[in-house]
Amino acid sequence: MVINSPETKVGLFTLAALFILGGVFFWLNGLELFQPGYELEAVFDRIEDLRPGAPVKLQGVDVGRISRIYFENYKVIVEMRIRPQFEIPRNVVAIIATAGVVGDKYLELILLEPGETPGDETRIKGKNPHTMDQFYETASEVINSIKQIAKSVEALTADREMHRHLKSSLARFDRISKNLESITGSPEMLQIIQKAALAMEQLNRATIIANRFLEQIEANGETAADIKETLANAEKISANLDQFTALMVKNGPELELLIKDARQTLQTINQAVIKINEALEGLSGTEDPSQVKQSIKAAVEAAGKISKYVEAFEEFKIENKVGAGRRDPTGLIVNYQMDINLNRERKLLLGVEDIGAANLASLQVGLKYPSALGRFGLYRNEVGLGLDYLPTPNLTLGVDLWDTESTNIGLSSSYQFNEDWAVKFSASQNFDTTDRTWAVECWRKF
């Protein structure tokens, strides 16, 4: 064979070209021949066009290549060759990712979240990729939901009556906002605050004058025989009040008897006040000053007890309210609510929503604060709690949380036009199902 012959040169050139083309092929496909490293395997149910030679990445860093793919007991085993400078932890999961929107597939190793179970000691657990059919199905559900929302919006806007109500409600809200702004920014509010401070100052002066008056009586040390009669009346009043307290605790059918007893006690107090005035006018220098002080103290305590029970009667009241409106997607709803004002600190709230359909019952205990009302108990047939904030006497802003297994949150706004009529807007959402509802209601107090 002649080396310089044309045939030999063509053959050598062909072999060199084939060698170069083979190297370029292996380089383009990511195959690394004679590359040191160690093997790892991942188990999948399906791999969606993942091929040998594809990159293997750990948290986005290229750490190796896929050497081969084979079946074992109807499972797909993906064998990886990892470069020796990278150590793959055992708490990883393998997922099949795509470079770009329609790019090549590659294998991504991601650290497991706390609580997730890793694979066995020899193989990594693989997470199966989503198929295009699953994407199409999800997209179809989203499109159907959008169509339903569009139909609901179209039905809402097509209803002229509902459109008129919404327009009227928005106009009322605008007027309410302007009224609140004018009230809070008006100089009359500053005058009210100044008058309250002046009234407090006058009350302090009256207290000082009363203390001086009692000191003068004690220094005089003289009283008439009427003081003894006043003390006796005060003791009778205290006894009547104790009996009155026992009947209040029973809270039975003797309500008329309690009211009658309270009136008689008030008459006794009036007589005691008359006796005190007569005794003060007839002060003399022969009596013990401690007896004067004790008599006046007993009479004042009796009057204080009567005042407390009269205030309790005035605070105890029951309000019945009926509301009607529209709730989406339920439709027309009718609600009932009964508020029982127990005292200055507590009240009881009973109600039924969507009467005749859902019949959602509520029974809550309310704790009163200066500008708020805290509520807890049964709400819409579930355990719940709520808070009502009253920035003004006519406006109430509320928030509710209920259902410990599938949490719901509700927001509401209620405006009291007068003593009998009110309008309420509310909306709620379930955190698990993302279901949302809204309602517009008109309430009437009886």
pLDDT tens sequence across 69-114:
999 998 999 999 999 899 888 889 999 888 765 678 899 998 887 7
Q: What is the per-residue pLDDT for 26?
A: 59
Q: What is the pLDDT of residues 52-65, one digit of tens each?
A: 888 999 988 999 99
Assess whether pLDDT exceeds 80 at residue 255: no
* Integer CA distances (angstroms), 428 to 207, 223, 400, in order: 52, 70, 9
Phi-psi region of 2 (alpha: psi -120 to 50; beta: other; left: phi over 0): beta
Contacts of the segment 235-241: beta carbons below 8 A, 24+ positions apart: 235/298, 236/268, 237/265, 237/268, 237/269, 237/272, 237/302, 237/305, 237/306, 238/298, 238/301, 238/302, 238/305, 240/264, 240/265, 240/268, 241/265, 241/302, 241/305, 241/306, 241/309
The pLDDT of residue 252: 47
Q: Which of residues 254 and 151 earns the better pLDDT score?
A: 151
Q: What is the pLDDT of residues 353-402, one digit of tens each?
A: 888 788 888 889 888 888 899 998 888 888 888 999 988 888 999 999 88
Identify which of 170-174, 255-259, 299-303, 382-386 has the greatest average pLDDT.
382-386
Give the pLDDT of residue 278. Answer: 60
410: which residues sit within 8 A by CB, 6+ positions away? 386, 398, 399, 400, 401, 402, 426, 427, 428
Given a contact cutoff of 8 angstroms between Cβ atoms, the answer to whether 43 and 126 are in contact is yes
Q: Are 406 and 429 in contact (CB under 8 A)?
A: no
Q: What is the pLDDT of residue 348?
A: 84
| pLDDT of residue 330 exceeding 60 | yes
Terminal-residue alpha carbon distance, the chain:
120
pLDDT at 70: 93
292 pLDDT higher than 60: no
pLDDT at 247 over 90: no
Task: Give pLDDT tens digits for 32-42.
Answer: 555 578 888 99
- Record the tokens describing residue 44, joined without a space: 């999948």
Question: What 8-state DSSP symbol labels residue 168?
Answer: H
Share of the chain above pLDDT 90, in %: 11
Return the pLDDT at 286. Answer: 46
In the prediction, which pLDDT does 223 show?
A: 47
Q: Does the pLDDT value for residue 328 go beyond 50?
A: yes
CA distance 309 to 242: 11
Mean pLDDT, the chain, whole residue set: 74
* pTM, rounded to two decimals: 0.35
